[in-house]
């Protein structure tokens, strides 16, 4: 980070190759930005009829009735945010701890195959996660995890109510499984890249390995780990097929984590291929637009959080 100011001075070009290089770099970045902006424009154009018809009430209405063409997105926004929050909370903790293990604690012969194994989780297709979730995880939640949580914490409204197996919690767990490889793999690389001098300096002060990891290395790797979590969170927000198979698909807001719920991406995946009226299609694209905006808001909030903690931009 302290290198930046020095570096800017060095980025003055000493040769024609450099100028060509700069042009190519600029071109790539501009193309990147244009693609995303074009995507946003397409979403807006597609949802325009729905925006015009329903206005802002689309966001706070709770009814989703394709027959009478009454559409309201609030329960889905809630479901998306809630499942993603559960997912990132679980995945960040497990993932970062696992990354610390793989980078600093594990012997080489153990760390390499274990890293591989965890990265392979990323290759499991979404529909397989969904089927496994439906046939293995949901019954497990219904018969084991759910009753256990309800036994201890049943007085809390979030753990009350009937346990179907499918629901908000199961959706969050399956998402967590899907994003853990991203968090772990990237965090591991970031932590491994922290220069050894830092660790050695800490050790020379008499700290234990754990203290070095948590008080020296992790804070130094903070920015990269944050980036990993943001990427993982993005995946969680947009995941469709796996979630829709275990979330219960009920457009209702409920206090309990065991209740069936619905996410923005699930609705689109469920209904888009069969929607035939133009207002219906437009409403579904508007859900995609809302998801885009939710992603923007979550990212902006996360940046603000980091900014206020560090006193400078991430």
Partner 1 sequence: MTTLNGTRERRISKRDRSLGSRRLFASLGAALTLACAILAAASLLAILGYVVVQGIGAINWSFLTQLPAPVGVTGGGVGNGLLGMAIIIGIATAMAVPVGLLTGIYLALFGRGAIPEALRFLSDVLSGVPSIAIGLFAYAILVAPLKHFSGISASFAFMMLMLPLLVRTSEQAIRSVPQTVREGALALGMSNFRATMQIVIPTAMPAIITALLLAIARVTGETAPLLFTAFGSQFWETNPNNPMAVLALQVFNYAISPYPNWQAQAWGGALLLIVAVFILSLGARLMLRRAMRGLEA
Partner 2 sequence: MLRSLVRRFGALAIVAAITVPAAAATQLTGAGATFDYPFFSKAFYIYTQKNPDVTVNYQSIGSGGGIAQFIAKTVDFAASDVPMNAGELARAGEPVLQFPVTLGGVAIAYNIPGVTATLRLTRQVVADIYLGKILKWNDPQIVRLNKGVNLPDMPIVVVHRSDGSGTTYIFTDFLSHVSPEWKSKVGAGKSVSWPAPSAVGAKGNEGVAGQVRSTPGAIGYVELAYVVENHMSAAMLQNKAGKWLASSPDTIAAAAATKPEVSPTNFSIVDAAGASSWPISGFSWVLVYKKPGDPGRAKLVYNVLAWLIGPEGQSNAKSVDYVPLPSNIQSSSLATLKQMQH
Interface positions, 83-142, toward partner 2 (CB under 8 A)? 130-131, 134-135, 138-139, 142
Q: How far is the CB of 254 from partner 1 (least distance, A)?
A: 23
Contact residue for partner 2 among 54, 64, 226, 292 (CB under 8 A): 64
Between residues 101 and 280, which has the closer beta carbon with respect to partner 2?
A: 280
Give alpha helix (H) positions in the chain: 3-10, 16-54, 57-60, 74-100, 108-120, 126-132, 138-140, 146-153, 168-193, 196-204, 209-211, 218-238, 241-246, 264-271, 278-310
Buried b (16+ CB within 10 A) or exposed e, 13-22: eeeeeeeeee
What H or E segment, with its residue span, contains residue 64?
strand 64-65
For residues 238-257, which are near partner 2 according to CB under 8 A? 241, 244-245, 248-251
**In this chain, which stretch among 164-172, 205-213, 214-222, 225-233 interacts with partner 2, using CB under 8 A?**
164-172
Q: Are 106 and 192 in contact (CB under 8 A)?
A: no
Torsion (CA) 25, 26, 30, 32 in degrees, nearest 10:
20
Site for partner 2 in 222-241 (CB under 8 A): 241
Closer by beta carbon to partner 1, 24 or else 156: 24
Cα dihedral across residues 239, 245, 247, 251: positive or negative:
positive
- Closer residue to partner 2, CB minimum distance, 60 or 135: 135
Instruction: Give the nearer residue to partner 1 in terms of CB position, either 21 or 60.
Output: 21
Query: Residue 72, interface with partner 2 (CB under 8 A)?
Result: no
Chosen from partner 1, partner 2, none, partner binding at 68 (C-beta under 5 to 8 Å by type)? partner 2
Kindly state the tokens that stand for 156. Answer: 């809390």
Question: Could you say which of partner 1, partner 2, none residue 28 binds, taking C-beta under 5 to 8 angstroms by partner kind?
Answer: partner 1
Q: What minimum distance in Å lies between the beta carbon of 81 and partner 1?
A: 12
> Phi-psi bin for 248: left (phi > 0), alpha (psi -120 to 50), beta?
left
Residue 277 three-state SS: coil
Q: Report, in Å, the least distance between residue 251 CB and partner 2.
A: 8
Q: Which does 175 bind (CB under 5 to 8 A by kind): partner 1, partner 2, none?
A: none
Q: Shortest distance, CB of residue 67 to partner 1, whole angstroms?
A: 23
Contact (Cβ atoms closer than 8 angstroms) between residue 187 and residue 221:
yes
Least separation in angstroms between CB 107 and partner 1? 12
Contacts of 49 (CB under 8 A, 6+ apart): 278, 279, 282
**Site of interaction with partner 2 (CB under 8 A):** 63-68, 130-131, 134-135, 138-139, 142, 162, 164-166, 241, 244-245, 248-251, 260, 262, 266, 269-278, 281
């Amino acid at each position: 980070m302290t290198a930046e100011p020095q570096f800017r001075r060095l980025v003055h070009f000493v040769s024609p190759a450099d100028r060509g290089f700069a042009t190519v770099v600029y071109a790539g970045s501009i193309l990147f930005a244009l693609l995303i902006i074009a995507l946003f424009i397409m979403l807006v154009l597609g949802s325009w009829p729905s925006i015009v018809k329903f206005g802002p009430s689309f966001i706070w209405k709770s009814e989703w009735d394709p027959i009478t063409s009454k559409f309201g997105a609030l329960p889905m926004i809630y479901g998306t945010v809630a499942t993603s929050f559960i997912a990132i909370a679980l995945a960040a903790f497990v993932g970062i701890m696992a990354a610390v293990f793989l980078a600093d604690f594990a012997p080489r012969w153990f760390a390499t195959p274990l890293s591989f194994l965890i990265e392979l989780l990323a290759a499991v297709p979404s529909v397989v996660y969904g089927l496994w979730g439906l046939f293995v995880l949901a019954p497990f939640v219904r018969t084991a995890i759910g009753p256990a949580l309800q036994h201890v914490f049943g007085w809390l409204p979030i753990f009350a109510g009937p346990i179907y197996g499918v629901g908000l919690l199961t959706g969050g767990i399956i998402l967590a499984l899907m994003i853990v490889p991203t968090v772990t793999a990237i965090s591991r690389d970031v932590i491994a890249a922290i220069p050894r001098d830092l660790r050695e300096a800490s050790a020379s002060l008499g700290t234990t390995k754990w203290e070095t990891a948590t008080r020296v290395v992790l804070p130094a790797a903070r920015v990269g780990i944050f980036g990993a979590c943001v990427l993982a969170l993005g995946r969680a927000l947009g995941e469709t097929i796996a979630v829709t198979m275990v979330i219960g698909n009920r457009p209702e807001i409920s206090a309990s984590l065991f209740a069936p719920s619905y996410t923005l991406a699930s609705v689109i995946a469920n209904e888009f291929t069969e929607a035939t009226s133009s207002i219906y299609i437009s409403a579904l694209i508007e859900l995609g637009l809302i998801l885009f905006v939710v992603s923007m808001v979550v990212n902006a909030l996360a940046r603000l959080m980091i900014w206020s903690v560090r006193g400078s931009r991430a």
